[in-house]
Structure 1
Amino acid sequence: MVTVTLAQRDRLLVCANEGADGADATWTTATSLEGHSLECVTATPERSARVFVGTFEDGLFRGTADEAGETDEWAFERLETEFVSEAVTSLAVSPHDPDVVYAGTEPSRVYRSSDGGGSWTRLSGLTALPSAEEWSFPPRPHTHHVRWLEVDPFDPDRLYVGIEAGAFVLSPDGGETWRERPEGSRRDNHALATHADREGRVYTAAGDGYAESDDGGDSWRRPQAGLEHTYCWSVVADPADPDSVIVSSASGARTAHTAERAESYVYRRTGDEPWERLEDCGLPTGEGVVRAVFDTTGERGVVYGANNRGLFVTEDFGGRWEPVPIDWDEGLEAQAPRGLIALPD
Structure 2
Amino acid sequence: MKAFCAFPSGLFVVEDGAVRERLGDVTPTCVAVSGDTVCCGTSDAGIRRSVDGGESFHRVADFERAHVTALAVGPDGTWWAGTEPSALYRSDDGGRAWRETAPLTDLDSSDEWSFPPRPDTHHVRWVRPRPDDGDSLAVAIEAGALVRTTDGGDTWRERVPGGPLDAHTIATHPGTPDRLYAAAGDGYHESSDWGETWETPESGLKHTYCWSVAATERDPDTRVLSAASGPRAAHSEGGAAVYRREAGTDWTRVPAVSGDDLLAPVLAAGAGRTVYALSNHGLQRSTDGGRTWRRVALGYAPEERATGLALAP
Structure number with larger C-alpha Rg: 1
2:253 maps to which residue?
277
Structure 2 gaps, min length 5: none
Alignment of 1:53 with 2:40, yes or no, is yes
How many residue pairs are counted as aligned between the two chains?
313
Alignment of 1:209 with 2:187, yes or no, is yes
Alignment of 1:31 with 2:4, yes or no, is no
> In the alignment, residue 152 of structure 1 is paired with which amino acid?
R
Q: Helix, strand or coil for the counterpart of 1:243?
A: coil
1:199-228 Cα offsets, whole Å, 9 max, x none, are 201110000111111111111111111111
> In the alignment, residue 335 of structure 1 is paired with which amino acid?
E
Residue 194 of structure 1: how far off its partner (Å): 0.6
Contact 1:304 1:342 in 2 (8 A): no
Q: Helix, strand or coil for the counterpart of 1:256?
A: helix
How far apart in 2 are the matches of 1:215 and 1:291?
28
Calculate the TM-score normalised by the size of structure 1: 0.88
Residues 9 and 138 of structure 1, relative CA distance in 2, 3 Å threshold: same
> In the alignment, residue 286 of structure 2 is paired with which amino acid?
T
Structure 1 gaps, min length 5: 18-26
2:214 maps to which residue?
236
Pairing 1:170-209 to 2, within 5 Å after superposition: 170-209=148-187
> In the alignment, residue 314 of structure 1 is paired with which amino acid?
S
Alignment of 1:257 with 2:235, yes or no, is yes
Calculate the TM-score normalised by the size of structure 2: 0.97
* Residue of 76, 83, 91 corresponding to 2:57: 76
- Could you say what the CA RMSD is over the residues aligned between the two structures, in angstroms? 1.3
Contact 2:30 2:42 in 1 (8 A): yes
1:156-188 Cα offsets, whole Å, 9 max, x none, are 110110000000000011111111222321000
1:312 maps to which residue?
284
How far apart in 2 are the matches of 1:34 and 1:191?
25
2:275 maps to which residue?
303
Pairing 1:82-101 to 2, within 5 Å after superposition: 82-83=63-64, 85-97=65-77, 100-101=78-79
2:8 maps to which residue?
9
> In the alignment, residue 80 of structure 1 is paired with which amino acid?
A
* Residue of 262, 267, 292 corresponding to 2:265: 292
1:23 maps to which residue?
none
Q: Helix, strand or coil for the counterpart of 2:234?
A: helix
